[in-house]
Structure 1
Amino acid sequence: MPQNDSSAAAAWWQNAVVYQIYPRSFADSDADGIGDLQGIIEHLDHLAQLGADVLWLSPVYPSPHADNGYDISDYQGIDPLFGTLADFDRLLAAVHERGMKLIMDLVVNHTSDEHPWFTASRDGGPTGPKRDWYIWRPPRPGVEPGTPGAEPNNWGSFFSGPTWTRDEASGEYYLHLFARKQPDLNWENPEVRQAVHAMMRWWLDRGVDGFRMDVINLVSKDPALPDGPVPPGARHGDGSASYVCGPRIHEFLAEMHREVFAGYPRRLLTVGEMPDVTVEEARRFTDPANRELDMVFQFEHVSLDSGPGGKFDPRPLRLTDLKASLGRWQTGLAGTGWNSLYWNNHDQARAVSRFGDDSPEYRTRSAALLATVLHLHRGTPYVYQGEELGMANAPFTAIGDFRDIESLNHYREQVAAGADPEQVLTALRARSRDNARTPMQWDATDHGGFTTGTPWIAVNPDHRTVNAKAQLADPGSVFHHYRRLIELRHTEPAVTHGDFRMLHPDDERIYAFTRHHAAGGTELLVLANVSGEPVETTVPDGWAGTETLLTNVADAAPLTSPHTLQPWEARIHRRAAS
């Protein structure tokens, strides 16, 4: 049986922490205002000091950058914006020299419309050899081609507007669940899957250690492509029932494992980004016996502060909803599957602004609390660049400050429909993906040490006080709290392997749980006050006076029962397992 067979009892990544780098915004070495591979190489010691085990590299492939690199025009190259393949090889070697691993972003639900596969599919016409590599359909019968409503179905794009764009030469439409420059591949065609598998093997042969798979649960579509229901107030139908975890998704992923990963003696990491995946489906995807994926990214917990209008209709998060969601995932995957744990990534607004308190008074403490709660759940934690500094949302003032296609399309569509521009901007300030994409804050100099040129998007002005240089010198900083959490994961088996039990599920301010590891003889208690006021809480029997492993409050008092937690206080206690 291959060494990387996913039935292995304890894979290396269960005890690991993954650090995501968004290359465009991490570090610019050549003063063009855009981050690059050499900039990453120059800052790898930051990851090593943090204790990260894996670097997840967001796309660096050649791309027109309609969606900042998630529209790929060549799967086996490096965009000149970021460097060369030789630079990538140097980065990979430098990562491995530090005892870390590197995983690539795999974006194979769609390509760029400038990828040679798509240009051949389009230019060859309906009878061309690569036509069936993408999803083409004639216009809807009885509707004038090229007019609204002539699209083959009524689905709406994730990036606003319809999911179909008409090719004037052939009169047919191609499907794109995202931007029009991101046509969806046709995974029903075995030639497409074989080409994807060959590309994956090419990168693995180069030495990469696995893949994070972008929206991978969308690759299987119902071939009938039926209309979807139109939600109240919406302009387009919801087609998700036809493509979220579609009819052949498990077959496709099992084939990928068999044709790609099973052929390598080293243990690789595979994580699938899966919008709208259920606990039950995720359990099946990550069950080692099924040989599909190691873990999935689910979106349930980062959707709890969205109103009826979606992510740009934000509402306050209820802590009981968060505990119910994360607790359900902890229970649902226990004993079979595996969770990925995250607050932030390149698609999410900054967690300390969203779920914590980014005011000067409580920013450090609330950022450390969010980290404590997340990293002590069962699963593999992901740290997004700047999260370990408590980086916050940016003070965008006008639509010209934004760069993200999703935000720009939403603003244009809403204003055209009569919405108040300032109200639309308020929602974008809270939830735009650009909040995650402002440059990494290395020091207090101009542009935060990210570049000596003009950055592609403005650096958050708070970099004068919130930056890596300052935090490395401060033992009480967010950075050092993350470092201590990661060290705890590496040294205390209960963090990785302990059972999870939620406490106080109905409390709107206290997040508390235990991790019990009978084999290691250890039990952990996590207590967190997710509010700006002191809160008295009950403590389970036998925990008063136990060892304090980690806290985000200086000179924290010994644990009593009951115990009053300070605003945004988090603490971890340890005792012998009973």
Structure 2
Amino acid sequence: MTTHRALTEGPWWRDAVVYQIYPRSFADGNGDGTGDVTGIISRLDHLADLGVDAIWISPWYPSPLADGGYDVADYRDIDPRFGTLDQADELIAATHERGLRIIIDLVPNHSSDEHVWFQQALAAGPGSPERDRYIFRDGRGDSGEIPPNNWRAMFGGPAWERVVDADGNPEQWYLHMFDIKQPDWNWENPEVVAEFDDVLRFWFDRGVDGFRVDVADSMGKATGLPDVDLDAEGLPSLAKYPGSPMWDQPILESIQRRWRAIADEYAESELGPRVFVSEAYLSPAPRLASYVAPGRLHTTFNFDALLCEWTAASQRNVITNALAAHEEVGAACTWVLGNHDNVRVASRFGKPVTGVPFDAEGAAVPVPGFNKDDTGHLPTDLVVGRRRARAAALLELALPGGAYIYQGEELGLDEVEDLPESVLQDPTWERSGHTIRGRDGCRVPIPWSGDRPPFGFSSEPVTAEPWLPMPDWSAHSVETQEADDSSFLWLYRRALAARRHDPALGDGTLTWNDSGADVLDFSREPGFRCVVNFGDPIDLPEGEVILASGPLADGRLGSDQAVWLRTD
């Protein structure tokens, strides 16, 4: 088993490699077709041997699962489909026993419409203290029939839903920036603020090491809820432009500082510092980096790296600007290639459009007609995609800072783009009028062993099929890749082992080397060099090969390959 550093060592978050677990799809411990807490416990050794430092578990709270668990009905319990609080305590202890940390999701922008406070708000009526916990407003028009403003929901349709009173009469509207079943909290209400203080302490007291903050840029709304600007198509904009009344409001700083103070209360505890990682798609890089300024959150995902096209120029622009912005506030970058909301890396990099370009200032350049959330109609070359995904993994793990791995990336899994329409569950599918399939394709359960579904995902006795059907992934299962030392799994294991023991890797800085327009080449001290080739084969620079993403033919680095070199 991999040796991990002491849990009390800090600041561990500056260079931690964290493995994301989507609990429905990681491992099913009771055979009912749905992943659960006991399944996670049964596979912890896989993660310890992989060499990660921590796990992040997507929402495991009681939920109607209208949005895959991001519609929380109770923030202090475990959904019965996933397990119990006692089992969660067992998982926390088992994780720590292996020298790993555990981060869980916090969903502070909205709750489920089945949350007891929202049910009380509906029953209490307009003007009540119960309604003030959420964002209720009277409608416009002669009889309030027009929504309070022009905001659209991220999953499609308007961002407002009108409620009906006990007599069947239409009355106020409530805001939901995502799905109808996800009413937004009112963060100007002291009861809401205090409630989340208590939720943080509830889980910190149980031994959780940190929280990933869902849509961390959306909790505050501009006073008066003014209309948003119109986009190029004349529709209310969903973009996070500076000044948007929906996003990145000033109130967020006070919330973040409040939470940081709570985390700091635990700094001298047995487990050491507790942390936050922010999910916020914000550009340019300095705007995002403000979230991790001193006294605010600890880390924030660098989603520009996930959105970036597979070219040397754009990749270098993203890296350069992210590092500079984070250095300005004294924080470390956190890199991410994929997650439960995005097309899997192996498929994305195998498409004719692999992402968006980024200019020298770190700004994304829109690609006409390209929608990162709707790429199923584009052809995919998985041979190319997997070759690039291997190179991208070495690039990500060589960069200064921390990194996240989404379950299945270490197996090179592809997006399942042919799921039957009858099994699609993502709210985007319904809200888009069945025009955008949504995110189910990256959430299919992962394969562990065997030559037929459920590929070891479900423990015996198996009483139900997996909640989403699995393709023939027998060639990509953990069992198959264990036996192949050239597999994705062994590439990740070797990379993480090298990263753990190489003093040049993890937190720190880099220096760019000039090796041509199609090559990304940087050094890190002491004596480490990473070279990624986006063009035709090139001669290897001088140095001893530590690890390569693929075979090095005749001592040359092939197209879409990466290599780590020892240069001292």
Report the TM range for the smaller structure's normalisation. 0.7 to 0.9
Alignment counterpart, residue 339 of structure 1, candidates 326, 333, 344: 333
CA distance in 1, matches of 2:385, 2:248: 38
**How much does 1:27 deviate?**
1.0
Alignment counterpart, residue 527 of structure 1, candidates 524, 531, 536: 531
Q: 1:137 touches 1:173 (CA, 8 Å); kept in 2?
A: yes
Query: Percent identity of the aligned residues?
Result: 34
SS in 2 for 1:19: strand
CA distance in 2, matches of 1:260, 1:294: 10
Query: What residue in structure 2 maps to residue 438 of structure 1?
Result: 444
Cα displacement string for residues 240-266 of structure 1 (whole angstroms, at most 9, x for unaligned residues): 411321021111111122244434422
CA distance in 2, matches of 1:360, 1:55: 28
Query: What residue in structure 2 maps to residue 570 of structure 1?
Result: 562
**How much does 1:166 deviate?**
0.7
Task: Please tell me whether residue 512 in structure 1 is matched to residue 510 in structure 2.
Answer: no
Structure 2 portions without partners, runs of 5+: 1-7, 352-379
Alignment counterpart, residue 480 of structure 2, candidates 470, 474, 481: 470
Task: Please tell me whether residue 330 in structure 1 is matched to residue 330 in structure 2.
Answer: no
Query: What residue in structure 2 maps to residue 244 of structure 1?
Result: 247
Cα displacement string for residues 106-147 of structure 1 (whole angstroms, at most 9, x for unaligned residues): 01111001101111122111232322111111102x35433x
Amino acid at match of 1:455: P
Query: What residue in structure 1 maps to residue 303 of structure 2?
Result: 299
**Which 10-residue stretch deviates more, 38-47 or 260-269?**
260-269
Query: What residue in structure 2 maps to residue 162 of structure 1?
Result: 158
Cα displacement string for residues 197-234 of structure 1 (whole angstroms, at most 9, x for unaligned residues): 11110110011111111011211111211101121335
Amino acid at match of 1:185: W
Alignment counterpart, residue 459 of structure 1, candidates 470, 483, 489: 470
Distance 1:126 1:257, change over 3 A: same
Query: What residue in structure 1 maps to residue 546 of structure 2?
Result: 549
Distance 1:274 1:155, change over 3 A: same
Query: What residue in structure 1 maps to residue 172 of structure 2?
Result: 172
CA distance in 2, matches of 1:36, 1:397: 22
Query: What residue in structure 2 maps to residue 351 of structure 1?
Result: 345
**Which 10-residue stretch deviates more, 182-191 or 331-340?**
331-340
CA distance in 1, matches of 2:192, 2:55: 28
Cα displacement string for residues 26-64 of structure 1 (whole angstroms, at most 9, x for unaligned residues): 111222211111111111111011011101011110001
Task: Please tell me whether residue 145 in structure 1 is matched to residue 144 in structure 2.
Answer: yes
Task: Please tell me whether residue 499 in structure 1 is matched to residue 509 in structure 2.
Answer: yes
SS in 2 for 1:493: coil
Cα displacement string for residues 325-371 of structure 1 (whole angstroms, at most 9, x for unaligned residues): 23211222126122111111111110111125875645654332110
**How much does 1:485 deviate?**
1.3
Amino acid at match of 2:37: L
**How much does 1:160 deviate?**
0.3
State TM-score, norm by structure 1: 0.84
Q: 1:346 touches 1:433 (CA, 8 Å); kept in 2?
A: yes
Alignment counterpart, residue 280 of structure 2, candidates 274, 281, 298: 274
CA distance in 1, matches of 2:120, 2:514: 59
Q: 2:231 touches 2:237 (CA, 8 Å); kept in 1?
A: yes
Q: 1:369 touches 1:552 (CA, 8 Å); kept in 2?
A: yes
Query: What residue in structure 1 maps to residue 365 of structure 2?
Result: none
CA distance in 2, matches of 1:473, 1:506: 38
CA distance in 1, matches of 2:28, 2:10: 38
Q: 1:292-441 alignment to 2 at 5 Å?
A: 292-304=296-308, 318-334=311-327, 336-356=330-350, 359=381, 361-362=383-384, 365-396=387-418, 398-412=420-434, 414=435, 428=437, 432-441=438-447
Cα displacement string for residues 83-113 of structure 1 (whole angstroms, at most 9, x for unaligned residues): 1111111111111111111111001111001
**How much does 1:399 deviate?**
2.9
Amino acid at match of 1:380: G
Distance 1:107 1:360, change over 3 A: closer
CA distance in 2, matches of 1:362, 1:283: 33
SS in 2 for 1:331: helix
Q: 2:513 touches 2:521 (CA, 8 Å); kept in 1?
A: yes
- RMSD of aligned alpha carbons: 2.4
CA distance in 2, matches of 1:446, 1:436: 17
Query: What residue in structure 2 maps to residue 206 of structure 1?
Result: 206
Distance 1:51 1:556, change over 3 A: farther
CA distance in 1, matches of 2:405, 2:234: 35
SS in 2 for 1:39: helix
Q: 2:302 touches 2:335 (CA, 8 Å); kept in 1?
A: no
Query: May I ask how many residue pairs the two structures share in their alignment?
Result: 517
Query: What residue in structure 2 maps to residue 313 of structure 1?
Result: none
Alignment counterpart, residue 479 of structure 1, candidates 489, 506, 525: 489
Q: 1:216-227 alignment to 2 at 5 Å?
A: 216-227=216-227
Query: What residue in structure 2 maps to residue 64 of structure 1?
Result: 64
**How much does 1:398 deviate?**
4.7
SS in 2 for 1:167: strand
Query: What residue in structure 2 maps to residue 229 of structure 1?
Result: 229
Amino acid at match of 1:179: D
SS in 1 for 2:90: helix
**Which 10-residue stretch deviates more, 567-576 or 373-382?**
567-576
CA distance in 1, matches of 2:515, 2:442: 30
Amino acid at match of 1:302: L
Q: Which has the higher helix share?
A: 1
SS in 2 for 1:171: strand
CA distance in 2, matches of 1:185, 1:526: 45
Amino acid at match of 1:440: I
Distance 1:454 1:406, change over 3 A: same
Task: Please tell me whether residue 32 in structure 1 is matched to residue 69 in structure 2.
Answer: no
Amino acid at match of 2:250: P
SS in 1 for 2:341: coil
